[in-house]
Amino acid sequence: MTRTIAPHTERVVFLDYLRAFACLMVIIVHASEYFYIGSEHPVTIAAGDDLWIALLNSMLRAAVPLFVMTSSYLLFPVRTDTPTFLKRRFTRVAIPFIVWLLLYAVLPQAGAEWSSETVLANLKTLCFNFPPAAGHLWFMYMLLGLYLLMPMISSWVAGLTKRGELLFIGMWFLTTFVPYLRYSHEFLYGEGLWNEFSLFWYVSGYIGYLVIAHYIRTYIDWSWGKTLAFAVPAFAIGYAVTAGWFYGFAQTIGADADGMIFGTTQMLHDIEISWRFCTPNVALMSIAIFLVFKKITYSKGIVYKVIADISRMSFGMYLMHIFVLNAVFALLSGRFPTPATIYSVGFVTYIVSYLLTKILSYLPKSKYIIG
């Protein structure tokens, strides 16, 4: 007979703050993409923008790991039977995901020309991947994959000792150096044309953030002093590497007579290596931010009321924000210097996405649209 353990239902205050903040981070990151990704050239950076992009975007690269950690903090290890867990997760996540996949496939982007041929091509793409207008939805495939994995590895994690859990985290952290090693070596640790599954395949990727969130919840209850003593240098080191790689690589591309930097698809791939979410530098930033937010306990007054509501709306905001972002950028681009444009577009998109999601939340069956 299978024993069913009731899931946790308490509200964890710091997770509300963290979801609201991570959602803003993601939107600002996407607002910055207009300034280094072009249509004619994959890398297109105006004179002087390389430094701003390196400084502003790199600071926010922890957004995705933070979302993974907030999602898993209360869900992992799974405390219900597997069918119940998957039904709840997929009802809340997969159905809205499919709705927005279809919307991005069918509706035109702001300022783009609509055509039946494009729509048909987008719909065909949905059989295998997200449509071109919805690159941000890559995250959903990864998240759903983690949900499939959680019930299967929950007993393993629950049975680990503190030392065993640290050992796994240590092995996982070693795998975060692979993106840098792959910069100079095409195949690593058993990979070949006939085999993409390397030595570290099964202990790499976003599973590390699941285990780290569980470890923090189970074993870490530090004072503010100890938290900052770890978090400040960890974030500083991670940020320095993240920004330094992007800016340094941009300098190697070389600018034309007007100071513009143009690069190939391969250069876009290489310049973003330090921005990848499973790198040691981004992992350090993510853990540092998570630990600091874990110390937030304030849950009174209008501030927390607003934050908690944004937290509840954050999934819907994430799903829709590219539609809003394109419209806001078209309205505000060229009006301010680059850093001001990135932040103004990001904040306006954040606010508008929240308001639209809030309106949708009043519709019947809105959970199938915004989660």
Q: Is the dihedral of CA 132, 133, 136, 138 positive or negative?
A: negative
Please tell me the predicted confidence (pLDDT) of residue 108: 67
pTM of the model: 0.91
| CA separation for the pair 23, 92 (Å, rounded) | 18
Please tell me the predicted confidence (pLDDT) of residue 228: 97
* Residue 238: burial class (beta carbons within 10 Å; 0-12, 13-18, 19+): buried
Please tell me the predicted confidence (pLDDT) of residue 5: 36
What is the per-residue burial (b if ≥16 Cβ within 10 Å, else e) of 323-342? bbbbbbbeebeeeeebbebb
**Nearest CA to 294 among 206, 202, 349, 224?**
224
Report residue 316 as tokens. 């819907």
Report residue 64 as tokens. 């995705």
Contact between 339 and 12 (Cβ < 8 Å): no
Element (H, E) at 43: strand 43-45
Please tell me the predicted confidence (pLDDT) of residue 4: 35
**Is the peptide bond prior to 77 cis by the omega test (within 30 degrees of 0)?**
yes
Between the alpha carbon of residue 170 and those of residues 82, 165, 188, 216, 293, the distances in Å are 28, 9, 19, 14, 23
Q: Diameter of the chain by CA atoms?
A: 74
- How many CB atoms lie under 10 A from the CB of residue 59? 16
Please tell me the predicted confidence (pLDDT) of residue 107: 83
> Which distant-in-sequence residues (6+ apart) come within 8 Å of 60 by Cβ?
25, 26, 28, 29
What is the per-residue burial (b if ≥16 Cβ within 10 Å, else e) of 267-302? bbebbbbbbbbbbbbbbbbbbbbbbbbbeeeebeee
Residue 170 Rama label (left phi>0; alpha psi -120 to 50; beta) = alpha
Contact between 41 and 262 (Cβ < 8 Å): yes
| CA separation for the pair 130, 97 (Å, rounded) | 10
Please tell me the predicted confidence (pLDDT) of residue 121: 84
| CA separation for the pair 95, 370 (Å, rounded) | 9
| Gyration radius of the chain over CA positions | 21
Q: What is the pLDDT along the chain (371 residues), one digit of tens a residue?
A: 333 333 444 678 999 999 999 999 999 999 999 999 988 889 888 888 999 999 999 999 999 999 999 999 989 999 888 999 999 888 889 999 999 999 998 886 544 566 777 888 888 888 899 988 899 999 999 999 999 999 999 999 988 999 999 999 999 999 999 999 988 888 899 998 899 899 999 999 999 999 999 999 999 999 999 999 999 999 999 999 999 999 999 998 888 877 888 989 999 999 999 999 999 999 999 999 999 999 999 888 899 999 999 999 999 999 999 999 999 999 998 889 999 999 999 999 999 999 999 999 999 989 999 98
In 231-350, beta strands by DSSP E: 261-263
